[in-house]
Structure 1
Amino acid sequence: MAAPHPHVMVLPFPAQGHVMPLMELSHRLVGHSLEVDFVNTDYNHDRVLKAMQGAETGAAGPDGVNMVSIPDGMGPDGDRTDVATLGSGLPAAMLGPLEEMVRSKRIKWVIADVVMCWATELAARTGVRVALFSTCSAATIALRLHLSKLIDDDVLDECATVRRNETIQLSPKMPPVEAAEIPWACVSSSPDRRRVIIQILLKTNPMIPLAATVICNTFEEIESEALHLVPNALPVGPLEAPELSRSAGQLWPEELACLPWLDAQARGSVVYVAFGSFTIFDAARFQELADGLELTGRPFLWAVRPNITTGIGEDWLDAFKRRVEGKGLVVGWAPQQRVLSHPSVACFVSHCGWNSTMEGLRHGVPFLCWPYFADQFCNQSYICNVWGTGVKIHADERGVVTKEEIKNKVEQLLGDAGIKARAATWKDAACTSIAAGGTSYENLLKLVKLLTE
């Protein structure tokens, strides 16, 4: 009788940008003969199943990944975009059921999102071993571990309000970040919400070095200095879904009809625009963006998820789609990795979430950076100040990015041969890292060995 596969529990924070890379890691582990229990919240579990049913493939859960779920502690009408409230309630709601699951299934390892590092308590309760997984850059984790010093030095107060304007750069090859753009200073406009998040971070930061390893969706060649500041760091990125037509990591159904549309466009011509799962535009800024894309005179593919804007009705969007038909295509949620790997894509207008940053880098696509909140400003600094693979978009004195600014920056980006060359160089480095013998490939084998010991 064959020995059972080693059994690992994977626990993401319940948001799109956290579920997806942990699902990609799960695919990798299953490919090395591990069995994975992937724990979503009940709310997101339902969304994942609906998104998979909505996909043209009609995909079921991936082989070897058991999709399980537990409540998140919020009521049916709870605002799950309120990260502070959602995050602060998760330990009380989830620790008990997780402990029960670990015991009943005799799970030996838990891989928990760094945002869920309270799960290290399971080690003391059950004897399970815990690895953490970072869905952000190593630089962001290093900044997080530096947070109490920033407060002690009076750069920030305990509501992450900036007390001293200065540039923070923890080492020479790391991104310089203005105090006002430190992730927790721009995570919410509410000081009370920021205070809740800061308290969670200060309370849980000591748990990070207790993990057996901190798995990072990055690679040695781009973040060597930052990785040295993260205890037990193990970079295995850039992670990518192995079967690009199906993924159990999406919370919205992917619209694959955009792929034949891309096939019909000229090589290196399309402006791809996507702002992730949290960015919100008001009506004026959204309309300015729409006008700016039209003004570029280039074909564009624009992902407009259902809750991206306030005050814009379906009628307006339908009229815009008709107006740009043949030139631009608007979809609800794009199969982003397949889009970025497509030869017709020229550049990526992005919020600079870490997954998008890694995917753009992996496919050699230049960035027009338009960060919204949290670590996205830090990632923008990497792209523009360290790697040299993109340009920043600037708002006017009203805080609005004008259509002329969009048109001019797209032209500047696509006319810059140096940016294109650097993007190609980093693409080669990323591909080398995950190929057999590369640094990330070898680190994945180390992780598998650790999980199977």
Structure 2
Amino acid sequence: MVEQQHSLDDESLLRLVSIPDGLGPDDDRNEPGKLLDAVYSTMPTTLEKLIEDTHLNGDNRISFIVADLAMLWALEVGSKLGIKGAVFCPIAATMFALLCNLDKLLEDGIINSQGLLLTTEKTIPLSPNMPEMDPRNIFWLNMPGTKNGLNLMHITQTLNLTEWWLCNTTYELEPEVLNFVPKILPIGPLLRNYDHDNTNATARSLGQFWKEDLSCMSWLDQQPNCSVTYVAFGSITLFDQNQFNELALALDLTNRPFLWVVRPNNKMRYPYQFQGCKGKIIEWAPQQKVLNHPSIACFVSHCGWNSILEDQIYDKTYICDVLNVGVGLNSDENGLVSRWEIQKQLNQLHNDQNIRSRSSKLKEKLINNKVRSSDNFDKFVKWLKE
């Protein structure tokens, strides 16, 4: 990573500063395990140096650190330098709770002290009112060749360095886990406020991976209400050619309008049978605007929480089995989800009024009950200012 620092604009109070991630310029950063291992071994030292240099140069002193759940080592650096901190969890509170209870997984003989799986015969019951988790779906086990599990084993001690456990969730979405771990403070959903966006800000400066294709909005305006299938799989999900073909041909089979995000780094070829005459394909979407558009009927995705890798399996369980606002896709013995399976489930989503009704009720519940999260966020900001 090239070291750089800049402000978002001349009047911004926010300064962005990058530090090396431990990988060389030619290393593949698409391997999450390799990247995380490099981060853990390199960034704590470089962050400490950055803070010390900032203080020596007479700039505004760093008085507080807010660390992503995957970057908890930053709290250890802060503690060493006498700086208080908070942890922010962008993924589901359920995954947060799992990480807070690694000691229990050790006691139950599910993982060892290296974070490796010992048995698949047991399930993980975090709380009596929550769906049990298949230990094979523990996220760090799906990062081959990484020491990430070992790095996570001391996470409980690190979390105890702060009283502030902030999470991008709401009580309405995850009441059981928030009752189970009351220290987790819901401050979500954290959504982009388009009304207050700087009109001069580029899509990249607002944290986007690629430039948003806004032409999709005028295309959506031309579609009937609740008619469009929106298809997007975040920034890192990869398909092989066979699965890409099945998805493309399934969208044709539905004979419905679709908006499909195919990233600019996609290397798959469209199957020769694919017509796509009812759809629009773009490289990157203003997703929040798209999902809020009245023409959107359903969302086909990898089931990430804000497109986050770690909790998609459990998110799927909640969406399909607990909240009952979605349907899952079943693969064959070779792990392939066929075009016929995708078509069948899409038809169900478009035609099932019960799913639509439950989705609408959940939306209203979230909108009408934001006070608790807002109060929590305001409480944190007030504490920061003291």
What TM-score do the two structures reach when normalised by structure 1? 0.76
Separation in structure 1 between the aligned mates of residue 123 and residue 48 of structure 2, nearest angstrom: 43
Separation in structure 2 between the aligned mates of residue 343 and residue 324 of structure 1, nearest angstrom: 22
- Structure 2 partner of 1:165: 121
- Structure 1 partner of 2:48: 99
Separation in structure 1 between the aligned mates of residue 287 and residue 280 of structure 2, nearest angstrom: 14
| Residues 282 and 385 of structure 1, relative CA distance in 2, 3 Å threshold | same
| Residues 4-53 of structure 1: CA deviation (Å, up to 9, x unaligned) | xxxxxxxxxxxxxxxxxxxxxxxxxxxxxxxxxxxxx648x89x99xxxx
Q: Secondary structure at the match of 1:89?
A: helix
Q: How does 1:167-186 map to 2 (within 5 A)?
A: 167-185=123-141
**Structure 2 residue 82 is the aligned partner of structure 1 residue 127:** yes
Q: Report if the CA contact (8 A) 1:110-1:130 is conserved.
A: yes
Q: How does 1:18-33 map to 2 (within 5 A)?
A: none
- Structure 1 partner of 2:172: 221
Q: Report if the CA contact (8 A) 1:110-1:131 is conserved.
A: yes
For structure 1, the residue ranges without an aligned partner over 5 or more in a row are 1-40, 50-58, 358-372
Candidates 26, 36, 42, aligned match of 1:77: 26
Separation in structure 1 between the aligned mates of residue 187 and residue 92 of structure 2, nearest angstrom: 12
| Residues 232 and 100 of structure 1, relative CA distance in 2, 3 Å threshold | farther
Candidates 240, 249, 257, aligned match of 2:207: 249
| Residues 430 and 162 of structure 1, relative CA distance in 2, 3 Å threshold | farther
Q: Report if the CA contact (8 A) 1:183-1:378 is conserved.
A: no
Structure with the higher helix share, 1 or 2: 1
The count of residues paired between Structure 1 and Structure 2 equals 372
Please say which of residues 411-420 and 100-109 is displaced more in the overlay. 100-109
Q: How does 1:372-391 map to 2 (within 5 A)?
A: 374-391=310-327
**Structure 2 residue 102 is the aligned partner of structure 1 residue 147:** yes
Deviation of 1:62 after TM superposition, in Å, equals: 9.0
**Structure 2 residue 324 is the aligned partner of structure 1 residue 394:** no
Q: Report if the CA contact (8 A) 2:79-2:161 is conserved.
A: no
For structure 2, the residue ranges without an aligned partner over 5 or more in a row are 198-202
Deviation of 1:182 after TM superposition, in Å, equals: 2.9
**Structure 2 residue 373 is the aligned partner of structure 1 residue 440:** yes
- Structure 2 partner of 1:55: none
Deviation of 1:253 after TM superposition, in Å, equals: 1.4
Deviation of 1:89 after TM superposition, in Å, equals: 2.0
**Residue 406 of structure 1 aligns to which amino acid in structure 2?**
I
Q: Report if the CA contact (8 A) 2:127-2:180 is conserved.
A: no
**Residue 284 of structure 2 aligns to which amino acid in structure 1?**
W
| Residues 410 and 60 of structure 1, relative CA distance in 2, 3 Å threshold | farther
Q: Secondary structure at the match of 2:207?
A: coil
Q: Secondary structure at the match of 1:390?
A: coil
Q: Report if the CA contact (8 A) 2:251-2:276 is conserved.
A: no
Q: Report if the CA contact (8 A) 1:42-1:72 is conserved.
A: no
CA RMSD in angstroms, aligned pairs only: 2.7
| Residues 181 and 308 of structure 1, relative CA distance in 2, 3 Å threshold | farther
Deviation of 1:110 after TM superposition, in Å, equals: 0.8
Q: Secondary structure at the match of 1:222?
A: coil
Moved beyond 6 Å, runs of 4+:
none
Deviation of 1:155 after TM superposition, in Å, equals: 2.8
Q: Report if the CA contact (8 A) 1:139-1:226 is conserved.
A: yes
**Structure 2 residue 206 is the aligned partner of structure 1 residue 269:** no
- Structure 1 partner of 2:158: 207
- Structure 1 partner of 2:247: 289
| Residues 360-398 of structure 1: CA deviation (Å, up to 9, x unaligned) | xxxxxxxxxxxxx63100111111121111111110112
Candidates 134, 149, 153, aligned match of 1:198: 149
Deviation of 1:452 after TM superposition, in Å, equals: 0.9
Candidates 276, 286, 297, aligned match of 1:324: 276
**Residue 241 of structure 2 aligns to which amino acid in structure 1?**
A
Separation in structure 1 between the aligned mates of residue 46 and residue 155 of structure 2, nearest angstrom: 20
Please say which of residues 235-244 and 99-108 is displaced more in the overlay. 99-108
Separation in structure 1 between the aligned mates of residue 63 and residue 318 of structure 2, nearest angstrom: 37
Please say which of residues 137-146 and 399-408 is displaced more in the overlay. 137-146
Bigger relative contact order, structure 1 or 2 (CA pairs below 8 A, ≥6 apart): 1
Identity %: 39
- Structure 2 partner of 1:369: none
| Residues 416 and 209 of structure 1, relative CA distance in 2, 3 Å threshold | farther
**Residue 331 of structure 1 aligns to which amino acid in structure 2?**
I
